[in-house]
Every structure is written in C-alpha cells, then in structure tokens.
Structure 1
Amino acid sequence: MPKAAKKKTKPRQQFGVAPYRSLPEGGLEVLLVTSRDTGRWIIPKGWPMKKGSPLKAALREGFEEAGVRGEGGAEIGAFEYVKVMEFGRDRPCRVGVFALKVTEELEDWPEREERVRRWFSPAEAAEAVNEDGLKEILETLPARLENG
C-alpha cells in the first residue's frame, strides 16, 4: 500500500516592518531587533489584527518589539520562514513587509526587556538575518523605497 502523501500546510500570514532612517550624509540605515527565543536578528513582525489593516498590524509590531513609530508606507515585499512554535508543530509563515520611516525612537517600549535593537546598513542587515527572502528585501531596500 502506498504511503499517504504528507499534507502541505498553507503558510500563516504575518505582517512586519522594515524600520529605516535617512542619514545626513546620504543613504539609510535599517533597524533590526533580536528574537526573544534565539536572539537572532529579525524585523518586527506578528499576526494580523481582528480589527485593523495589515499596515496597522505591522506598525503595532514596530512599536511593541522595537519601540519605533513613524510613517508607514506600502508593502515592499514578502518572505517565508518557519516559525518554531512552543509545543512543536512548527508553522510555515508568509510575512508581508511594510516600510516604516522612523520619526520617533522611544526609550521605553513594551518588549524593551526582551529584545535588543540595532541600526545596520542595508547590506549589514541582509547579512545579519537568516531568511533568504528577507535578506533580499533588506539588501534592496533603498531601491524598493524609490520605486514604491
């Protein structure tokens, strides 16, 4: 008897932000935060809100995880990754990424004690993250902002 094909799990949707700031001498920097579990570099991201747009959910994550506020723009890309869940059953996720022009960097924010935040050049940010799709978004962020 043939073995049953393993059912492919549809990715769960998440939304995140690529917080950035312009530098006086030109160019820009991207803000990354550490994940709570492994301490690896990520962008602020999370689940959709029951009431609210994808952009609103992404901006909320920027505030909660990185302590930044600003002007949100259009979705500039998406990437997929596998979210390691607490009790097994890891889930594939698709993250829609929105640009966030940072206008305010708070000293105190909800997840301040759980995360580290740091500014990177787009190339350094791309090197720091693990997900290939996110690497591409961060590396090409200046061009995506110009074309968006």
Structure 2
Amino acid sequence: MTGAFKRAWAEVVQPMFSRPRRLQVAALCCKQTEKGERVLLITSRDTGRWILPKGWPIDGLTAPDAALQEAWEEAGVQKAHIRRTPAGSYEYDKILEGGVPVPVDVQVYRVDVDKLADAYPEADERTRRWVSPAEAAELVDEDSLKDLLRQM
C-alpha cells in the first residue's frame, strides 16, 4: 500500500501543484583583455545579486536576438557579435510578484562585445562589472551557471 501511495503522490498529486518550467534567454557577454577573457555581470533590480543579462523570449525575435536585446537594455551592449547556438543553459527559480517561485530554464548565448554604451534603458537600475570567468562563477548564485562559467 505504501508503494502505491508514493507512486500516486509522485505521478498524480505532486504534478498538479507543480508549476511548469518557463524559458528565458541570457547573454553571456565576453571580451578579451590583456588579462585574458572577461565576462560582464550586472546586478538584478530586485535583490542586487550578480546575474547575466536575461529575459523572457520576445515575439518576433529569435532566442539569440532576444538575448542580445536584453544585453542592450540591461547592460548597454551597443555593438557585439552573438553566436547563434547556445553556449549552455542553467536553471533557477524566479520569484514572481507575491513571492510565488516559478522554475525557469535559461538558454545562454555567447556575445562577443565590441562596445558598451554609457546611456542605456536600465543604466540607473543596475551596476555592471567585467570579471574573469572564475570570479563570475564565485559571484553568481545558481550552481549550474557557476558550472557553465567555470568551463569557459
């Protein structure tokens, strides 16, 4: 009886209360310097934690183009070359209004940055910082994003 109850819980009851996974796209903004490769991190607007520029897919844009749009709006990436295939992915729980967590899968696209703008849509809401991939891995919270950054 216990096995049947566990199976019913796992296969029927629990999925009814689980939220479906959502998709976001992110820009892994990179540049080469005399000190080696650097990654651009920005702060989130709500908690101030270090993240990659990311957002929901945008109607009419491909996933890489939506990631590049987010890089412009959130980090001021003005001139760049984006790779069309994902560099990887990571997952996290996004907390929506009211404190409801939603599981999110994030497709990450590498962006080779040529130029940053000083003025961009969210300049007053975020801080941006170039760091090594190893330092970026220490600053972000998501374990699977840490792994992606350590593999660079």
**TM-score normalized by the length of structure 2:** 0.87
- Identity rate of aligned residues, in percent? 42
Cα-to-partner distance string for 1:10-29 (whole Å, 9 max, x where unaligned): 2100000110100135x200
Tell me if 1:104 matches 2:112. Answer: no
Pairing partner for 1:43 from 44, 52, 64: 52
Report whether the alignment pairs 1:17 with 2:27. yes
Instruction: State the 1:82 CA deviation.
Output: 0.2
1:1-148 maps to which residues of 2 (within 5 A)?
5-7=13-15, 8-24=18-34, 27-69=36-78, 70-73=80-83, 74-141=85-152
Distance 2:114 2:51 in 1: 20
1:115 shift after superposition: 0.3
d(CA) in 2 for partners of 1:10, 1:78: 17
Q: Distance in 2 between matches of 1:91 and 1:36?
A: 18
The alignment partner of 1:118 has SS state of strand
1:82-113 CA deviation, whole Å, 9 max, x = no partner? 00111232110000000000011100000001
How many residue pairs match? The answer is 139
Give ranges in structure 2 of 5+ residues lacking alignment.
none
Greater share of helix: 2
Structure 1 or 2, whichever has the larger Rg, is: 2
Query: What 5-or-longer segments of structure 1 have no aligned partner?
Result: 142-148
Question: Partners in 1 of 2:74 and 2:129 — Cα distance?
Answer: 12
**Structure 2 residue matching 1:108: 3-state secondary structure:** coil
- After alignment, is 67-76 or 13-22 more displaced? 67-76
Q: Give 4+ residue runs of structure 1 displaced > 6 Å after superposition.
A: none
